[in-house]
């Protein structure tokens, strides 16, 4: 399978317009397209894979941003967002309908390997089968779970008919909590014949290599399966890795996730639009400001509003401060994984504290900021904030960036351990839908801030740092370079900082979002954070889906680790810079 | 009343042994505090400053730690080999302490008309004894890993063993140059011969090889693979708790003191200080403290090697260098001596 | 002289006593609240499967054999080093020959990849 994207001929039509793309598809596959509109192209389920391959090979849509699904009660709809990294611009939307009974659509894994985890997630939560998927199992929920929680007819424990905003819970003079209204056992479903005490999870088998392999190896040693996590000091949270080892060499890694799963999507459907804002903080808790921004952008797309100048600048300043501190801490953690005794991490934390002070001064909270609103930000910044921020950006942070680079990139042991380790070739990086520094370290010059400029990023002068080989070393220095670029943006933003309003329209706690759907995204420090929001005109989103960069970057872990030592695997995992809050959602 | 000389020797040995063991245990306890404090300063933190703090340093912290360790639950994992699992920490700490039998601490002095030697035993093969006891230290670790019957312990113990025996070769060879200059295997003689000039001046390469190998031998960063937290959790110590864990910890620190003391004795003139100021044992302690500080410093700053890099470095770099050092020393001695 | 080793024997006795006291003390003090989960081997929070005592990489044996070879060499080196001044050029040439033989083996192991861990 070829994964290289051919360069489009110079006078190509505008492929960012779904109508034109639909026309192109029709020339090749006349009856594949059911309908097409600005909302997306609906294709026939049985020709989906051909269409996808055509888009990938011929029209250079080489990057699968997002896979999700919507339950329209009479049918399911699987939604794909595709981009061309070469051309940039907004992703086009591809849709497939599936029947309500035994829904199934062809899997896109043979074309886009990045669909692997995402299709498993759709299968897990919505119950749509993907024919041809190599490993279609539940991913976020446990293997014995019954039911598909994102379906509209699924009733979770403590299910309530009414949605937020609730009526008064004190109306009869007594506060009745949800647990008392709905005893949980009314809704809990167990698999048939389930006995909680006797239940044994399917046990991993110890693999023994066959005779031919043993002969090839001459010196025969056992191939063993080792568990890393969920309780392990170096898995960055409750992640479990099922590692096949041959001596010290990794032969396979399977990430097993879901220990922190809370069904963020379902919670989002029961919340109001604004009420979701604090929940996005908890996705990647290192970068709550950037999460807020991406979500606000998505809903603003539906609302069709733009925040005032001053708010845009505040947003950019917050997002870039977030990027700096996230990368600094990520570098520290990579060094921890390399075996350093916390010193680089604590040096990074020192500056991070100062940045969090600024967040606290503005948003009232250090990590869970809940700061952005639709059409602006929650609170205005003070002159004191600007002065402190200028001091940080012009003096402390550049100094600390240089210092960290000198200490960490200059280290000989680091060079010997990071160069040519965990190589992710360019083609694979694209095909696996990796995002952010991981993608750029593999040599892809793609940054949403440049490719599809949101907010006011088109006004600033900054570079997109890229690596060459896509090894651990590149992923490290790309982050260092991005810290520098963030400071560059911050300097410009602080110099141009305007006065004015911080909110479009009046401040209100409830927004009415018109009917429609939107895929919005932002370049988070960890990669492309996307939100797919469907509104049916009520107070709650009809469908709310998060494309977590940590989760999708994890798809590539196996290919990055195979053939390297187990000690390298830990560092490679560290270099992906995952946060379990976002992986498990 | 006259006593049989053998009885006098025995009484002397008992007293000296108890003094040395108590001194080492105290040194171990306070080294943990010093290490925490040094690392805290490196990382711009405050460090321990609560228990019995004087001047911001928690002087009673080691005692609090000891009491905590004693009263922690001591358990035997169900799949462990109970006997091996239990005696392994004892072996580890025992061999660590035994190395001090031949260490000269201070010049011999007359006290109340009685000649006191400040070493427990002056055997004529002191260096060999040290190497032999050092090799035995591996048993504590490998038995601990085997007895725990835990995959992390097992792998940690295996790695630890392979690493220690690999670097022991370079460690032993690095000392040969010193022996050639001193012409003796007795540590006391070696120290006495350095009264004019320290061996490190003649043996700079040997000294560097020795120090690198010694750091690897006591499993400190950047060679702390056996307890590599990021892969093996706590290596061979994973299943240990309570005083059994403390004994392993103790063994590790006493080994640190031992290799530092050997470095000081063999290369830096042992208890010999310049200008005759300060009594001898102070100089030895100062030199040991210097080496230990360097080890802590490295722990605060360096990441660790990968296992294959570590083994390759030991066998393909350190070992040829150590052999070359011996032959260069031999040639120089013969040419200059002739 | 054998009497020189007497203090070492005394030390072995005292050190053994110390270890035994420490291990007994730790078994006596402290609470005892075992439960099956606590007593099961730690395996990153998953129920353990299989024994830890399986066949492990041949490299470890190879390292052990190499160690024995070179350790014996060290033993030969020590008396030679002590008497080096007396032996002179003859001693150097004799040890040189011995080393040469050993080096051939060393180079062989190196070329065969005996020091590569993978």
- Buried/exposed A404-431: b ≥16 CB within 10 Å, e otherwise: bbebbeebebbeebbeebbbbebebbbb
pLDDT band at A189, cuts 50/70/90?
Answer: low
Q: What is the pLDDT of residues B217-226, one digit of tens each?
A: 888 878 887 7
Are the beta carbons of C95 and C81 closer than 8 angstroms?
A: no
Q: Say which residue the tokens 């007895």 belong to.
A: B147
Q: Give the distance from residue C103's alpha carbon to the nearest chain A alpha carbon, in angstroms.
A: 25
The pLDDT of residue B306 is: 85
Find the residue in B nearest to C20 (Cα).
B90
Cis peptide before B222 (omega within 30 of 0): yes
> How many Cβ atoms are within 10 Å of A127's Cβ, its own excluded?
20
Q: Give the distance from residue C63's alpha carbon to the nearest chain B alpha carbon, in angstroms.
A: 6
Classify domain A18-131 at the CATH topology level.
Beta Polymerase; domain 2 (3.30.460)
Would strands A516-524 and A527-535 be described as parallel, antiparallel, or unpaired? antiparallel
Reduce the DSSP state of residue B19 to 3 states and report it: helix
Contacts of A89 (CB under 8 A, 6+ apart): A16, A83, A451, A452
Give the separation between CA B75 and CA B83, rounded to whole angstroms: 13
Give the separation between CA C35 and CA A532, rounded to whole angstroms: 47
Enclosing H/E stretch for A228: strand A223-228
Cis peptide before A336 (omega within 30 of 0): no
Q: Which of A90, A140, A487, A119 is nearest to A327 (CA)?
A: A487
The pLDDT of residue B132 is: 86
Q: Please work out, in degrees rounded to the nearest 5, the angle formed at the alpha carbon of residue B78 by the alpha carbons of B72 and B81.
A: 95
Q: What is the mean pLDDT of chain A?
A: 84
Joined together, the tokens standing for residue B69 give: 């360790």
Q: Give the distance from residue A231's alpha carbon to the nearest chain B alpha carbon, in angstroms.
A: 10
Instruction: State the Rg of chain A over Cα.
Output: 24
- Is A219 within 8 Å of C58 when comparing Cβ atoms? yes
Q: Residue A199 above 70 pLDDT?
A: no
B261/A201: higher pLDDT:
B261
What percent of chain C has pLDDT above 70?
87
Going by the DSSP 8-state scheme, the letter that residue A468 receives in this structure is S
Highest mean pLDDT among A229-238, A378-387, C60-69: A378-387
Q: What is the mean pLDDT of residues A347-352?
A: 90
- Is B303 within 8 Å of A338 when comparing Cβ atoms? yes
The pLDDT of residue A204 is: 44
Q: What is the pLDDT of residues B81-108, one digit of tens each?
A: 888 888 899 999 999 998 888 887 777 7
Compute φ and ψ for A194, nearest 5 degrees. Answer: -85, 130
Are the beta carbons of C89 and B334 closer than 8 angstroms?
A: yes
Asked if A197 reaches chain C (Cβ–Cβ under 8 Å), the answer is no
Chain C residues with CB under 8 Å of A567 CB are none
Least confident among A165-169, B76-80, B142-146, B301-305: A165-169
The pLDDT of residue A1 is: 39
Find the residue in C nearest to A200 (Cα).
C47
Give the separation between CA B8 and CA A577, rounded to whole angstroms: 67
Find the residue in A nearest to B224 (Cα).
A339
Are the beta carbons of A545 and A552 closer than 8 angstroms?
A: no
Query: Which residue among C54, C117, C118 places its CB closest to the CB of A222?
Result: C54
Give the separation between CA C99 and CA C73, rounded to whole angstroms: 9
> How many Cβ atoms are within 10 Å of A73's Cβ, its own excluded?
10
Q: Could you state, in order of their start, the residue ranges of all structural domains in chain A? A: 18-131, 264-584
Q: Give the distance from residue C55's alpha carbon to the nearest chain A alpha carbon, in angstroms.
A: 6
So what's the ipTM on this one? 0.85
Q: Say which residue the tokens 């001929």 belong to.
A: A9
Contacts of A163 (CB under 8 A, 6+ apart): A270, A538, A539, A540
- Is C59 within 8 Å of A240 when comparing Cβ atoms? no
Strand partners, A106: A131
- Is A221 within 8 Å of C43 when comparing Cβ atoms? no
Q: What is the mean pLDDT of residues A98-114?
A: 88
- Is B231 within 8 Å of A568 when comparing Cβ atoms? no
Give the separation between CA A46 and CA A31, rounded to whole angstroms: 11
Positive/negative CA dihedral, B139, B140, B143, B145: negative
Would strands B57-58 and B53-54 be described as parallel, antiparallel, or unpaired? antiparallel
Give the separation between CA A61 and CA A189, rounded to whole angstroms: 42
Residues in chain C: 118
Are the beta carbons of A442 and A429 closer than 8 angstroms?
A: yes
Q: What is the mean pLDDT of residues C83-103?
A: 86
Q: Residue A90 above 90 pLDDT?
A: no
Q: Residue A56 above 50 pLDDT?
A: yes
Query: Which residue among B75, B146, B184 places its CB closest to the CB of C82?
Result: B184
Are the beta carbons of C52 and B151 closer than 8 angstroms?
A: yes
The pLDDT of residue A218 is: 42
**Long-range contacts: A365-369, Cβ < 8 Å, 24+?**
A367/A281, A367/A285, A367/A286, A367/A288, A368/A278, A368/A281, A368/A282, A368/A285, A368/A288, A369/A281, A369/A288, A369/A289, A369/A292, A369/A318
The pLDDT of residue A374 is: 87
Classify domain A264-584 at the CATH topology level.
Cytochrome-c3 Hydrogenase; chain B (1.10.645)
Q: What is the pLDDT of residues A291-321, one digit of tens each?
A: 999 999 999 988 888 899 899 999 999 999 9
What percent of chain B has pLDDT above 70?
96
> How many Cβ atoms are within 10 Å of A306's Cβ, its own excluded?
13
pLDDT band at C51, cuts 50/70/90?
Answer: low
Query: Which residue among C45, C49, C55 places its CB closest to the CB of A222?
Result: C55
Compute φ and ψ for A537, nearest 5 degrees. Answer: 90, -5
Q: What is the CATH number of domain C2-111?
A: 1.20.58.1610
Q: Residue A214 above 50 pLDDT?
A: no
Q: Residue A486 above 90 pLDDT?
A: yes
Are the beta carbons of A286 and A329 closer than 8 angstroms?
A: yes
Q: What is the pLDDT of residues A419-448, one digit of tens each?
A: 888 899 998 899 999 988 999 999 888 989
Q: Give the distance from residue B30's alpha carbon to the nearest chain A alpha carbon, in angstroms.
A: 20
Distances (CA, A) of B130 to B94, B99, B179, B249, C15: 13, 6, 14, 20, 16
Q: What is the mean pLDDT of chain B?
A: 84
Give the separation between CA C78 and CA A5, rounded to whole angstroms: 67
| The model's pTM | 0.86
Contacts of A316 (CB under 8 A, 6+ apart): A455, A456, A457, A460, A489, A493
Chain A residues with CB under 8 Å of B228 CB are 339, 567
The pLDDT of residue A393 is: 92
Please report, to the nearest 10 degrees, the dihedral formed by the alpha carbons of residues A121, A122, A125, A126 taken in order: -170
Query: No. of H helices and E strands in chain B?
Result: 13, 4
Find the residue in A nearest to B151 (Cα).
A226
Subunits in contact with chain B (3 or more CB pairs closer than 8 Å): A, C
Chain C residues with CB under 8 Å of B121 CB are 4-8, 11
The pLDDT of residue A217 is: 45
Enclosing H/E stretch for B54: strand B53-54
- Is A413 within 8 Å of B308 when comparing Cβ atoms? no
Are the beta carbons of C32 and B242 closer than 8 angstroms?
A: no
| Angle, helix A472-496 to helix A309-337, in steps of 10 degrees | 150
Query: Which residue among B44, B301, B304 places its CB closest to the CB of A338?
Result: B304
Chain A residues with CB under 8 Å of B42 CB are 343
- Is C6 within 8 Å of B9 when comparing Cβ atoms? yes
Give the separation between CA B299 and CA B313, rounded to whole angstroms: 19
* Residue to test with chain B: of C36, C37, C60, C63, most B Cβ within 10 A: C63
Within C1-118, residue ranges assigned H as helices are 6-28, 36-39, 58-82, 84-111
Positive/negative CA dihedral, B293, B295, B296, B301: positive
- Is B166 within 8 Å of C36 when comparing Cβ atoms? no
Q: Do domains A18-131 and A264-584 have the same CATH topology?
A: no
Least confident among A252-266, A500-514, C50-64: C50-64
Burial of A161: CB neighbours in 10 Å, binned 0-12, 13-18, 19+: exposed
Chain A residues with CB under 8 Å of B46 CB are none
pLDDT band at A4, cuts 50/70/90?
Answer: very low
Q: What is the mean pLDDT of chain C?
A: 82
Joined together, the tokens standing for residue C77 give: 């080196």
Residues in chain B: 338
Reduce the DSSP state of residue A500 to 3 states and report it: coil
- Is A413 within 8 Å of B301 when comparing Cβ atoms? no
- Is C45 within 8 Å of A230 when comparing Cβ atoms? yes
Please report, to the nearest 10 degrees, the dihedral formed by the alpha carbons of residues B39, B44, B46, B48 taken in order: -10
Reduce the DSSP state of residue A252 to 3 states and report it: strand
Distances (CA, A) of B163 to A344, B140, B206, B308, C113: 27, 14, 20, 10, 17
Q: What is the mean pLDDT of residues A378-394?
A: 90
Contacts of A321 (CB under 8 A, 6+ apart): A289, A355, A358, A359, A389, A486, A490
């Amino acid at each position: 399978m070829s994964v290289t994207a051919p360069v489009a001929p110079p006078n190509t039509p505008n492929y960012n317009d779904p109508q034109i793309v639909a026309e192109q598809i029709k020339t090749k596959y006349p009856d594949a397209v059911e309908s097409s509109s600005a909302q997306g192209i609906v294709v026939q389920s049985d020709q989906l894979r051909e269409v996808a391959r055509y888009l990938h090979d011929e029209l250079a849509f080489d990057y699968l941003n997002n896979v999700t699904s919507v339950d329209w009660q009479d049918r399911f709809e699987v939604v794909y967002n595709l981009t061309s990294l070469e051309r940039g611009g907004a992703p086009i939307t591809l849709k497939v309908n599936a029947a309500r009974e035994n829904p199934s659509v062809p899997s896109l894994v043979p074309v886009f390997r990045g669909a692997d985890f995402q299709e498993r997630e759709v299968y897990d939560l919505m119950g749509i089968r993907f024919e041809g998927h190599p490993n279609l199992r539940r991913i976020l929920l446990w293997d014995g779970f019954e039911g598909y929680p994102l379906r509209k007819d699924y009733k979770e424990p403590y299910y309530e008919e009414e949605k937020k905003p609730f009526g008064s819970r004190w109306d009869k003079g007594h506060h009745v909590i949800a647990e008392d209204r709905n005893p949980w056992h009314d809704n809990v479903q167990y698999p048939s014949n389930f006995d909680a005490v006797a239940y044994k999870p399917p046990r991993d088998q110890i693999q023994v290599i066959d005779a031919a392999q043993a002969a090839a190896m001459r010196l025969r040693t056992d191939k063993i399966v080792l568990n890393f996590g969920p309780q392990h000091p170096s898995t960055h949270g409750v992640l479990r890795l099922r590692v096949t080892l041959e001596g010290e060499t990794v032969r396979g890694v399977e990430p097993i996730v879901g220990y922190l799963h809370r069904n963020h999507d379902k919670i989002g459907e029961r919340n109001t639009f604004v009420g979701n804002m604090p929940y996005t903080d908890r996705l990647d808790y290192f970068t709550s400001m950037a999460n807020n921004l991406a979500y606000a952008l998505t809903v603003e797309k539906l609302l069709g509003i733009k925040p005032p100048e001053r708010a845009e600048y505040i947003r950019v300043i917050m997002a870039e401060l977030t990027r700096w501190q996230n990368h600094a801490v990520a570098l520290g953690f990579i060094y921890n994984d390399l075996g350093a005794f916390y010193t680089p991490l604590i040096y990074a934390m020192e500056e991070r504290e100062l940045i969090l002070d600024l967040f606290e001064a503005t948003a009232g909270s250090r990590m869970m900021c809940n700061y952005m609103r639709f059409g602006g930000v929650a609170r205005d910044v003070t002159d004191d904030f600007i002065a402190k921020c200028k001091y940080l950006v012009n003096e402390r942070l550049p100094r600390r960036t240089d210092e960290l680079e000198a200490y960490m990139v200059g280290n000989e042991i680091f060079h010997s351990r990071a160069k040519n380790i965990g190589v992710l070739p360019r083609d694979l990086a694209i095909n696996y839908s990796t995002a952010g520094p991981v993608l750029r370290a593999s040599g892809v010059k793609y940054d949403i801030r440049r490719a599809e400029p949101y907010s006011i990023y088109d006004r600033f002068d900054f570079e997109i740092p890229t690596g060459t080989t896509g090894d651990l070393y590149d992923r490290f220095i790309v982050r260092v370079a991005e810290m520098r670029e963030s400071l560059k943006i911050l300097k410009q933003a602080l110099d141009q900082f305007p006065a004015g309003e911080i909110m479009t329209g009046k401040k209100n706690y409830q927004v009415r979002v018109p009917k429609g759907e939107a895929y919005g995204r932002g370049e988070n420090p960890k990669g492309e954070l996307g939100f797919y929001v469907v509104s049916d005109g009520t107070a709650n989103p009809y469908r709310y889906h998060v494309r977590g960069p940590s989760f999708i970057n994890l798809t590539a872990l196996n290919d990055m680790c195979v053939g390297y030592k187990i000690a390298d695997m830990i560092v490679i995992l560290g270099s992906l810079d995952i946060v379990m809050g976002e992986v498990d959602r | 009343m006259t006593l049989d000389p053998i009885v006098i020797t025995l009484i002397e040995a008992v007293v000296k042994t108890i003094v040395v063991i108590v001194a080492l245990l105290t040194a171990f306890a306070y080294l943990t505090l010093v290490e925490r404090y040094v690392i805290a300063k490196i990382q711009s933190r405050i460090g321990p400053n609560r228990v019995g703090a004087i001047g911001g340093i928690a002087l009673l912290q080691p005692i609090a730690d000891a009491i905590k360790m004693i009263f922690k639950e001591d358990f035997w994992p169900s799949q462990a080999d109970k006997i091996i699992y239990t005696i392994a920490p004892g072996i580890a700490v025992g061999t660590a302490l035994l190395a001090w039998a031949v260490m000269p601490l201070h010049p011999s002095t007359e006290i109340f008309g009685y000649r006191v030697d400040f070493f427990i035993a002056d055997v004529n093969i002191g260096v060999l004894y040290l190497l032999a006891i050092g090799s035995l230290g591996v048993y504590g670790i490998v038995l601990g890993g085997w007895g725990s019957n835990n995959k992390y312990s097992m792998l940690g113990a295996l790695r630890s063993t392979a690493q220690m025996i690999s670097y022991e070769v370079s460690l032993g060879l690095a000392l040969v140059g010193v022996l050639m200059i001193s012409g003796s295997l007795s540590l006391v003689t070696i120290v006495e011969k350095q009264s004019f000039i320290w061996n490190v001046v003649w043996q700079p390469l040997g000294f560097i090889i020795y120090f690198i190998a010694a750091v690897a031998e006591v499993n400190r960063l950047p060679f702390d693979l056996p307890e590599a937290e990021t892969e093996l959790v706590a290596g061979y110590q994973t299943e240990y708790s309570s005083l059994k864990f403390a004994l392993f910890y103790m063994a590790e620190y006493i080994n640190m003191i031992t290799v530092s003391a050997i470095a000081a004795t063999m290369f830096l003139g042992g208890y010999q200080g310049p200008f005759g100021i300060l009594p001898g044992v102070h100089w030895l302690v100062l030199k040991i403290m210097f080496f230990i500080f360097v080890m802590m410093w490295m722990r605060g700053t360096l990441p660790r090697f990968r296992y294959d890099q570590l083994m390759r470095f030991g066998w393909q770099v350190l070992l040829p260098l150590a052999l070359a050092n011996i032959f260069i020393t031999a040639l120089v001695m013969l040419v200059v001596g002739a | 002289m054998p009497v020189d080793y007497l203090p070492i024997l005394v030390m072995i006795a005292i050190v053994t006593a110390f270890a035994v006291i420490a291990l007994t003390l730790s078994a006596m003090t402290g609470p005892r609240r075992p439960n099956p989960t606590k007593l099961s081997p730690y395996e990153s929070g998953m129920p353990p499967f299989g024994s830890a005592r399986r066949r492990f990489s041949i490299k470890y044996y190879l390292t052990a054999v190499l160690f024995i070879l070179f350790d014996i060499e060290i033993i030969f080196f020590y008396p030679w080093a002590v008497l080096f001044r007396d032996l002179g050029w003859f001693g150097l040439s004799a040890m040189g020959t011995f080393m040469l033989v050993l080096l051939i083996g060393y180079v062989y192991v190196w070329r065969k990849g005996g020091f590569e861990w993978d």
